[in-house]
Structure 1
Amino acid sequence: MRLVIAGGGTGGHLYPGIAVAREWLSRFPDTTISFAGTTRG
């Protein structure tokens, strides 16, 4: 399975995204997770 976590605007979206990714991996360990964003946040 693949999961993309996207956030925008500020880096404040990063920490909740990491928390979601960790929980997701604990439930679905065969998942590939990618993060999408911009160079500005």
Structure 2
Amino acid sequence: GIQLKADGGTAGNRIVLLMEGLRKIGVEELHLLTLPVER
């Protein structure tokens, strides 16, 4: 996962990790938004 790739420690890797993290969080938020509030 993210922690395994964090070994590089370079700015480029960190940017990629941030983008991947934001994308995963965004996808999760989209799923939460699409789900019915009352369940």
Instruction: Considering fraction of residues, name the structure with more strand.
Output: 1
**TM bin (shorter chain):** 0.3 to 0.5
Give the structure with the larger helix fraction.
Answer: 2
Higher RCO (Cα < 8 Å, 6 or more apart): 1
Query: What's the TM-score once normalised by structure 1's chain length?
Result: 0.46
TM-score by length of 2: 0.47
